Structure 1
Amino acid sequence: MSEHNERDGVERLRRWVDSCDNIVFFGGAGVSTESGIPDFRSEDGLYRQHYDWPPETILSAGFFAAHPEEFYRFYREKMLVTGAQPGPAHLALAELERRGKLRAVITQNIDGLHQKAGSRRVYELHGTIYQNRCLSCGALCGPEGLGKSGLPRCSCGGLIKPEVVLYGESLDGATLQGAVDAISRCEMLIVGGTSLAVYPAAGLLQYYRGHRLVLINKGPTPQDGRADLLLRGSIGPILTEAIRPLGGEAAL
């Protein structure tokens, strides 16, 4: 599908949103960059910053096991962003859910901003910074349980690990199945703010069988050719404009 200019594309997206009552959204880091959370692959992303190890190495299961102190130094500084607030894309999607149009949000992000915005059915493919588990007794705690420095320990003495999916780990089976079910049943799938370069998450698009696949991203993705509507640009402004009722004003 050829790329649409923003005005015509957003108008078409708005008409589709107005006529659909079973929409699913699948998003990535670009949804949260508007909230000040850095992504990994953009020009200013974490992959282009200097550390003693590449971020993808630090955020791996093997590195966590071998160098937990270094893992936590990076994690607290760059990943544990609990003070961020929802951006325009999060708010637009929450509004669509309130209208009964959006059935699920599937996200690769771990920042919990969809829930902060008011979304209720959220499949967090890569886990969340808001839950941590003791590797010894299995007790759960929030971000405050990680402390400010050093290795976080449970009251039982066990090491605490964030409930995020590290490189080398499998996605949670129930979360993945919920995402697959939502995509396979939806009438319209909106994909935004993701390069679709990380698997198995990016492979979820294969389960969509409809004819309203919308891709919104600043840059090209490997799935652009599959899109029924392709929009280049920032996802927040595009979604905010698209959820306005036909002939109406923005409702956010």
Structure 2
Amino acid sequence: MDIGIEAPTATDAMIDEAIALVRGARVAVLTGAGVSTDSGIPDYRGEGAPVRTPMTVQTFLASEHARKRYWAGSHLGWRNFGAAQPNRGHLALAQLERAGNVAGVITQNVDGLHRRAGSRHVVELHGSMDRVVCLQCGQHYARQAIADELETLNPSIDLSTAIRPAPDGDVEVDDVDAMVIPACTVCGGVLKPDVVFFGEFVPITTFQAAAALVTSSDVLLVAGSSLVVNSGIRLIEQARRRKLPIVVVNRGVTRGDSRAAVKIDAGASETLVAFADALTGTGALAHRGV
């Protein structure tokens, strides 16, 4: 009896089936929060994720108090985002794009990690936290510049201690009304991170770019998304209508499982690395030090 060789698992078989499906194909990739959890960014809906009460665009626009509270909490979140680094899954997708296997990445994430990993064709469905936009004149700013301004405008508030995590995953801010939030330097308008809030729609041109990537591809690969957000499921439906094979990689159930040619119940990072190793050369990522 051989004891030194592990028998292939059901997951291994699914990965092999998916690799055979995407080999030689033009692949569009749709990613969700599960791709970034290995970078230390929490998943919104995965098992064990805290319950969050998201800021809606209606609340943000209606109340200066709400905007101050949002910017205080967002400042804490930006620190975490700024410290996060691309993980093996992000790097694997960038490598697959360079090798010609992946046509582009559509992401529901706002952390900018696909771009930082080296992916060149990235459609950020919900925007990116590293940009800030004026809601009045449309002027854009680098997020770090606004973060620095927030610190400058509030020299008497230690934002590292005034902002505390709450049990429900939200934040509590001591004396939020004492905070001063930056305004647009061009017109004095309200600033907002360049992301899609709850209650907002994905910009038409952004969704069209995502849809064009799907419709020009041979396979749609979904990684790390439960597909609860409507923009993701709309892209799944586009692929289904065009009879494109759909591969879903996610821990747990997704809304796309019934439409998938292959469903892999596994982590995104290790699965994407397996794809990259098989399609571009075994152990390729190891040579990049990851």
Same fold per superposition (TM over 0.5):
yes
Contact 1:28–1:107 (8 Å) recurs in 2: yes
RMSD between superposed Cα atoms in Å: 1.9
Aligned pair partner of 1:213 in 240, 246, 259:
246
Structure 1 or 2: more helix by fraction = 2
Output the CA distance in 2 between the equivalents of 1:246 and 1:151.
49
Aligned pair partner of 2:193 in 142, 162, 182:
162
Residue 39 of structure 1: how far off its partner (Å):
1.7
Q: State the TM-score, normalized to the length of structure 1.
A: 0.88
Aligned pair partner of 1:55 in 53, 56, 59:
53
Once the two structures are superposed, what CA deviation does each residue of 1:171-203 show, in whole Å capped at 9, x if it has no partner? 111110011111122111100101111113322
Contact 1:211–1:228 (8 Å) recurs in 2: no
Aligned to 2:284: 251
Structure 1: give runs of 5+ residues left out of the alignment.
48-53
Output the CA distance in 1 between the equivalents of 2:279 and 2:104.
23
> Which letter does structure 1 place at the counterpart of 2:272?
L
2:206 paired with 1:175: yes
Q: State the TM-score, normalized to the length of structure 2.
A: 0.77
Structure 2 SS opposite 1:55: coil
Contact 2:225–2:250 (8 Å) recurs in 1: yes
2:15 paired with 1:10: yes
Output the CA distance in 1 between the equivalents of 2:102 and 2:208.
18
TM alignment of 1:95-244, pairs within 5 A = 95-147=95-147, 148-149=150-151, 150-156=180-186, 157-208=188-239, 209-244=242-277
Contact 1:126–1:165 (8 Å) recurs in 2: yes
Output the CA distance in 1 between the equivalents of 2:224 and 2:209.
21
Structure 2: give runs of 5+ residues left out of the alignment.
1-8, 152-179, 286-290
Once the two structures are superposed, what CA deviation does each residue of 1:196-222 show, in whole Å capped at 9, x if it has no partner? 111133221111123421011100112
Output the CA distance in 1 between the equivalents of 2:182 and 2:77.
17
Aligned to 1:92: 92
Contact 2:105–2:123 (8 Å) recurs in 1: yes
Residue 89 of structure 1: how far off its partner (Å):
1.2
- CA change 1:247–1:217 in 2 (3 A) is closer
> Which letter does structure 2 place at the counterpart of 1:202?
I
Structure 2 SS opposite 1:218: coil
The range that moved more, 111-120 or 180-189, is 180-189
Aligned to 2:35: 31
The range that moved more, 176-185 or 9-18, is 9-18
Residue 248 of structure 1: how far off its partner (Å):
4.4
Show structure 1 runs of 4+ deviating over 3 A: 245-248
Residue 247 of structure 1: how far off its partner (Å):
10
- CA change 1:248–1:111 in 2 (3 A) is closer
Output the CA distance in 2 between the equivalents of 1:42 and 1:15.
28
Q: Percent identity?
A: 34
Structure 1 SS opposite 2:71: helix
Aligned length: 240
Contact 1:17–1:242 (8 Å) recurs in 2: no
Contact 2:99–2:280 (8 Å) recurs in 1: no
Output the CA distance in 2 between the equivalents of 1:131 and 1:122.
15
